[in-house]
Amino acid sequence: MSNQKNLTTNDTWFFGHPKGMVTLFFTEMWERMSYYGMRALLVLYMTGAVTGFNPGLGLSQIDAQAIYGIYVGFVYFMVIPGGWLADNVLGHQKAVLIGAIIIALGHFTLAMPLTETFFLGLILVVLGTGLLKGNISTIVGQLYKPGDSRVQAGYTIFYMSINIGSTLGFLICSYLGEKIGWHWGFGAAGIGMFFGVLQYLNFRHLLGEAGNKPNDMPQAQRDTYIKWSKITAGLMIVVIALGLMGIIGFEPKAFAENFAIFLTGVAFVYFSYLFLFAGLTQVEKKNLFLLLILFIGAAAFWSGFDQSASSLSIFARDYTDLSVGGFVIPIGWLQFANPVFVVIFAPIFAGIWMNLGRMNLDPSLPVKFAIGLFFMALSFAVMLYAVQLAMEVSPVGMQWLIITYLLQTWGELALSPIGLSAFAQYAPRKYIGQMFGLWFLASAIGGVLAGLLGGEALDAGLESISPVFEFMIQYYLVIGLALVAVAVFGIAKSADDAKAKAAKT
């Protein structure tokens, strides 16, 4: 035990970070390879013609984009029950393992060349990701003792694994899926996740006690939790079975709209509960308010970012020239731009923040999020121009999408890795597992909105894109300006900032 304790404290084995980081790095890498690789195919598969080479599902843009949004929304929403289950019943380590296995099964289900099993495959990936994504992020933080200054750098390394994973996913799944057959691409995602499971099983011991056990509680209470988990799982299986058998009807766009409202309601109730009834100290409440502000910024940001695999992917397919030296690249390869730019620019952004910090000019968290939104607005302004060009002569060059992804990546780097560690740092300790749920709830809302907006944008081909993108640019700017105002008037500050200021004066 004391040996294991050491593992979670002073260990510097992996580039100055604890050994367990290796396990988490590769598990997350394979998981994201499978997630982004499959996601890049999803809308293309759903909207592909039902006949000819590589037949798709022949769905309308509105339906396909709504299903995409619902899928992304559920992937991130399920992080909340996944976190609860790990905190109270399974422990984070076991939750990650079970999640990884279910994800692999989901992709293998999608790999079967049957349309009947399509939704079952998606549901399995959703359930598995719910168990894996938030809990693996929690274990990263648990590798370090509270207050260890390496945590933020640890999350940056972890963010690299995400992007190396998605690069692999686009590379392999898009090539196989688009050039050979959709189900080959889905199968490749399953094989990737399977590698992730194997390496997790082999190297799980490096995690030591980090995230190994659920919260302490009397056995009777745990038994009640287990009983309710089983009842809920049973009910979910019944609802899913009725849905798959077509007994419960499903209209994608209406479902997505209601889902977006539901998710916003969940966020409202969750924050209200924490503010009012969770017995937080004044300092914790102050930090929670900061997190609320960041939450709103993040949800807006992801509603643009997640259009990479929806409206922007269709723009790449229908209006962009994808040939490079006589070879027509897979549509999904354009999405490379994002992870490749992340890997290139992450150290540069880290350096910029550090240098600004030295000069006491490091922007506050809301300002960084505002920067993220301004870049997002700019990226869609570039797309407006590209749409204009495409209306005159189509297809347009691929540089427009690449510049768009570059700007979005700069925005992402000002917001996403920082947001993840802010939620780790400023969450009330007792609620840390659920805090990642809350952070990913912003991604869930953003994901559904991305599907809804993407559907609206593409409803009538090129003509319908501009008004939707114009609307998005406006709301990124408005929320971005609101974040700046919040920072300028000092409304949302972490208690740490306040302390640091007090120490200086």
Contacts of 84 by beta carbon, 8 Å cutoff, 6+ apart = 433, 434, 437
Place of tokens 């598990």: 27
Pick 32 or 493: Cβ nearer ligand GLN: 32
Residue number with the smallest Cβ distance to ligand GLN: 443
DSSP one-letter code for 11: -
| Residue 420 CA: distances (Å) to CA of 137, 152, 206, 234, 443 | 8, 9, 23, 32, 11
Question: Least Å distance between CB 443 and ligand GLN?
Answer: 3
Please report where in the chains the tokens 């120490």 appear, as a residue.
Answer: 503
Q: How far apart are CA 95 and CA 68, in angstroms?
A: 25
Binding mask 412-431 for ligand GLN (x = CB under 6 A): ----x---------------
Q: Whose Cβ is closer to ligand GLN: residue 8's or residue 137's?
A: 137
Decide: helix, strand or coil at residue 14: strand
End-to-end CA distance of the chain: 44
Which residues, 377 to 416, sit near ligand GLN by CB under 6 A?
416
Out of 27, 379, 443, 494, the residue judged to bind ligand GLN by CB under 6 A: 443
Name which of 214 and 339 has its Cβ closer to ligand GLN. 339
SS3 115: coil
Alpha-carbon span 391 to 414, nearest angstrom: 33
Q: How far apart are CA 489 and CA 329, in angstroms?
A: 49
User: With respect to ligand GLN, which residue has the nearer C-beta, 105 or 413?
Assistant: 413
Instruction: Using CB under 6 A, pick the residue from 302, 319, 353, 369 that binds ligand GLN.
Output: 302
Q: Shortest gap between Cβ of 452 and ligand GLN (angstroms)?
A: 16
Cα separation, 12 vs 332, in Å, equals 37
Instruction: Tell me the per-residue interface mask from 2 to 41 with ligand GLN, x by CB under 6 A, - otherwise.
Output: ------------------------------x---------
Burial of 124 (0-12, 13-18, 19+ CB in 10 A): buried
Minimum CB distance to ligand GLN, residue 408 (Å): 11
Site string for ligand GLN, 153-192 (x = CB under 6 A): ---------x------------------------------
Size of the residue set binding ligand GLN (CB under 6 A): 5
Amino acid identity of residue 325, one-letter, is G
What track of x and - describes contact with ligand GLN for positions 315 through 354 (by CB under 6 A)? ----------------------------------------
Q: What are phi and psi of 55, to 5 degrees?
A: -65, 140
Nearer of residues 162 and 438 to ligand GLN, judged by Cβ:
162
What does the binding site for ligand GLN look like in residue numbers (CB under 6 A)? 32, 162, 302, 416, 443
